[in-house]
Amino acid sequence: MDKIRIVGGARLNGTIPISGAKNAALPLMIASLLTDEALVLANVPRLADVALLKRILGNHGVDITVAGKRIGEAELSGETVQFSARTIVDTTAPYELVSKMRASFWVIGPLLAREGFAKVSLPGGCAIGTRPVDLFLEALQTLGAEIEIDAGYVIARAPNGLKGGHVVFPKVTVGATHVTMMAATLAKGDTIIENAAREPEIVDLAECLIKMGARISGAGTSTIRIQGVDRLHGTRHAVMPDRIEAGTYAMAVTMTGGDVLLEGARYDSLAKPIEILREVGAEITETNEGLRVYRNGAALRPVDVTTEPFPGFPTDLQAQLMALVCRAEGTSHIRETIFENRFMHVQELARLGAEIHLDGQNATIVGVPRLKGAPVMATDLRASVSLVIGGLVAEGETMVNRVYHLDRGFERLEDKLSRCGATVERISG
């Protein structure tokens, strides 16, 4: 099993190209099930989750072709992939595939909309909370689906097709917003989604669906309106830059000090994290190429942060921020409101010398003058990269174990960091 070895102490200087967003690429790939024509996606990141979803889509009959490299293409640029779901050969998403990644459950929406039937295993994924699917199923029922759960599978039927409806989510849910929006594109009549998620990835999916012929308005606001159409066609779309990857590297530079251009990063998708990082002590400026992050070595300042749905501070950057403020001069407070079990990185950061106290969903982080390298273990995707951030300034060697979690969401992290002066290497075994 691979490990990441880090020797702390180096400042980061240079350029880090930001990959396509995993959280945008996955629903965009799933949207290929909505049409019998080819969907071509550019800037698709090379990640374990993307590879797994390719397998799942292939199981449904999607033909997948990866374009070769082009002249002048950057070494760390994403793939261009064509997805062609001319015929859906299987409407079942089996347990052995869905259990490995929660987002694969989202195929239920397009399969149901296009084929009138879907049998999808209840999902798995990171162990960061229960994340029930009841909101997904209630939304599909509002669109006319008949739902039953049998032997760990959700069986959804709409033999006469889905019908437009008024979906009101009791709480903001990104996954259910994705699924409902995709399903509603082929429903008969109009659909209104209220209390919809406002994340940039929702907007990216909506823009792609509109290119495919969908009639969608309001994406990026709390009310999305969809006029159903008879069919969608193929198109070409570029996956948006990964705001979580960009935020993670911004925190790494803030932690170590230095000067790094995050190539392709977008300010509009990171406004709240940028505000917090400036409070901590980073200088962040928007350029034509992306975002420049600079810190000259001045002391880090403590902050108080609560995770919230977009445009608030994202839960997917909570672990990274906690690692950062472990070195702040003073006491920081982080409240996690999205997932009930997303503090599993705390005990691993403590192995590096961090002083963190938990009280339910609240973490109090008392800044320490130094961290010391140690063997640590990744427990989930974002927790794993928080340990990398800690290791970048820890004295001596930090060895991060179980980095398959890291490979689910960060493309060639060790290459990107080492090019900016960090001592980071992957050890296979």
Catalytic residues: 126
Looking at the DSSP bridge assignments, the partners of residue 73 are none
102 annotated ligand-binding residue: yes
**Do 416 and 388 meet the contact criterion of CB atoms below 8 Å apart?**
no
**Do 328 and 300 meet the contact criterion of CB atoms below 8 Å apart?**
yes
62 annotated ligand-binding residue: no
SS3 of residue 31 by DSSP: helix
194: amino acid identity, one letter? E
132 annotated ligand-binding residue: yes
22 annotated ligand-binding residue: yes
> How far, in whole angstroms, is CA 400 from its chain's centroid?
21
338 annotated ligand-binding residue: yes
SS3 of residue 9 by DSSP: coil
Phi, then psi, of 36 in degrees rounded to 5: -90, 5
**Do 170 and 217 meet the contact criterion of CB atoms below 8 Å apart?**
no
26 annotated ligand-binding residue: no
Q: What are the tokens at 133? A: 């699917």
Quote the CA–CA distance of 329 and 26 in Å, as a whole number: 39
Query: What residues are designated binding site for phosphoenolpyruvate?
Result: 22-23
Query: What residues are designated binding site for UDP-N-acetyl-alpha-D-glucosamine?
Result: 102, 131-135, 316, 338
